Amino acid sequence: MNSKLLAFLEEIKTQGNMSKAAQTLFVTQPYISRVIKNAENHFGVHLIDRSSHPIRLTYAGERLLSYLQEQNRLRVTLDREMTHLSEYKYGHLSIASDDSLSDDAYSKIITKFNKKYPNIHLQIINTTARDAEKRVLSGSLDFFIGKKINNPKLTHVSLVNTALALVIQKSMASFDADKLWIDYDPNILNELIGHSFISIPHDSSYQRMINSFLNEMNLPVEFNFEVPTIQLAVKLALNNLGAVIAPKYIIKRNQFEDAEVSLMKLPKDQLATKIELSYLENTKNSKPINELIEIIKDVLD
């Protein structure tokens, strides 16, 4: 129950709304209300200020949340220490990422890690950097892979500086039917002006980076499609539904036999996405964790 109360209080604090918190956590609003009310009756205090809009935690609610987060951190530390002492005969690691990793990359990472440590349970989560920061700090998530989370309490390991590439449509002048990869030419980017472009959600850190690049280069594109993942965006681009800028390792792992597109790698000093591993400072890097880092680097290289 403590873990549920922790999740509910965290999400209510973030959302400022009981219904939105319920939707995010995939539970009903009455269930959250009941759990909160039971805790209020148990401690004899109000945990939620329901008179404010948006609603917020009372001082007592903030203090309880702090204690629950510390309790969860201690439990995670205990689990990790016991795993270390048992010479990795059992254990659990939870890893989250944003859109930086494709399903194919995850598959390779998990397969390689499992061969070395078959008894360590891996939990894989897809989430935003904002949500991951909250989970890592509370101890409910071990690691986040993606854009760097700017929080002094977290430690960061640089994994790879991933090159990006432009998928060029056959309707664009630079399309070359005889060559898949064409040499970089900054003038080709001007062909994107007014051209159909495929994006992922604009509130994602990756798309914000792409939008910033397009704005800096003065390239007003037509966002005709917005899709959930960069993998789907690449597949649509290969069907000539629009241009897209995507990590090169994702593009390379798609099939091009029937695709009438050209590809152009962008210079890393112009545009690239740096993928980092973020985790809580007091997390001790054990042998499995260090090997997991090396596996991720190898897969994404």
Q: Does the predicted TM-score (pTM) go above 0.85?
A: no
Each residue of 83-104: b (16+ CB within 10 Å) or e? Answer: beeeeeeebebbbbbbbbbbee
Contact predicate 9/65, CB 8 Å: yes
Encoded tokens for 253: 């792992």
Contact predicate 57/49, CB 8 Å: yes
Helices and strands per DSSP (H, E), number in the chain? 10, 11
* pLDDT surpassing 70 at residue 31: yes
The total number of residues shown for the chain amounts to: 301
CA-to-CA separations, 269 to 162, 182, 213, 273, in angstroms, rounded: 11, 18, 12, 10
Which tens digits make up the pLDDT trace of 116-125? Answer: 888 787 888 8
Confidence of residue 89 (pLDDT cuts 50, 70, 90): low
Which tens digits make up the pLDDT trace of 226-251? Answer: 998 888 898 899 888 999 998 887 77
Instruction: Name which of 80, 79, 40, 73 is nearest 58 in CA terms.
Output: 40
Tokens 């596996």 correspond to what residue? 295
How crowded is residue 262: how many other Cβ atoms within 10 Å of its Cβ? Answer: 21
Tokens 């956590």 correspond to what residue? 25
